[in-house]
Chains A and B, each alone.
Chain A
Amino acid sequence: MHIVDGALSSPVLITGAVLTVIGVFIGLKKMDYDHLPLVGVLASVFFIASYIHLPLGFSSVHLIMNGLLGILLGWVAFPALLVALLLQVIFFGFGGLLVLGVNTLNIALPAVIIYYLCYKGIRHESAKVAAIWGAIGGAGAIIITSLMVAFSLALSGESFVLAAKAVLPAHIPIMIIEGFVSYAAVYLIHTVKPEFITKDAH
Chain B
Amino acid sequence: MSQGLEHSLTSWSGQALKHQASWIDDIDARVRVVCSGLFALVVVSSQHFVPALLGLLCAFLLVKSSKLNIKRTLRRVVAMDLFMLMLICVLPFTTPGDPIFSVFGLTASWQGLLHALLITVKANAVLLVLFSLVATMSASTLGHALAHLKVPDKLVHLMLFMVRYLDVISQEYKKMRRAMQARAFVLRTNRHTWKSIGYLFGMLLIRSVERAERISDAMKCRGFCGRYYLNDEMKIGRVDVVFGVAFLCFLVLLIGLNIDDLFK
Can you name the residue of chain B whose Cβ is closest to the Cβ of A47? B166
Instruction: Judge whether A196 is part of the interface by a CB distance below 8 angstroms.
Output: yes
Tell me, rounded to whole Å, the shortest Cβ–Cβ distance linking B79 to chain A: 7
Instruction: Judge whether B102 is part of the interface by a CB distance below 8 angstroms.
Output: no
Interface string of B115-135 (1 = CB under 8 A from A): 100111111001100110011
Interface residues on B, range: 35 or more
A:70-88 near B, CB below 8 Å: 72, 79-80, 82-84, 86-87
Interface size on A, residues (CB 8 A): 74
Instruction: Judge whether A57 is part of the interface by a CB distance below 8 angstroms.
Output: yes
**Are A96 and B40 in contact (CB-based, < 8 A)?**
yes
Known: A55-B193, A93-B80, A188-B203. 9 other contacts (CB 8 A): A4-B119, A33-B227, A40-B165, A44-B168, A83-B155, A97-B37, A163-B91, A181-B198, A188-B199
Where the two chains meet, the residues of B that have a C-beta atom closer than 8 Å to any C-beta of A are 2-3, 5-6, 9-10, 12, 17, 36-37, 40-41, 43-45, 76-77, 79-80, 83-84, 86-87, 90-91, 93-95, 112, 115, 118-123, 126-127, 130-131, 134-135, 139, 142, 152, 154-155, 157-159, 161-166, 168-170, 173, 187-189, 191, 193-199, 201-206, 208-209, 211-213, 215-216, 219, 226-227
A to B CB contacts below 8 Å, 22 in the list: A6-B119, A31-B158, A33-B154, A33-B157, A36-B157, A36-B158, A40-B161, A43-B158, A44-B165, A44-B166, A51-B6, A55-B188, A83-B158, A93-B77, A97-B40, A97-B130, A98-B40, A160-B94, A184-B202, A185-B199, A192-B203, A196-B209
Where the two chains meet, the residues of A that have a C-beta atom closer than 8 Å to any C-beta of B are 2, 4-7, 10, 24, 28, 31-34, 36-45, 47-49, 51-57, 60, 63, 65, 68, 72, 79-80, 82-84, 86-87, 89-94, 96-98, 158-163, 166, 177, 180-189, 192-193, 196
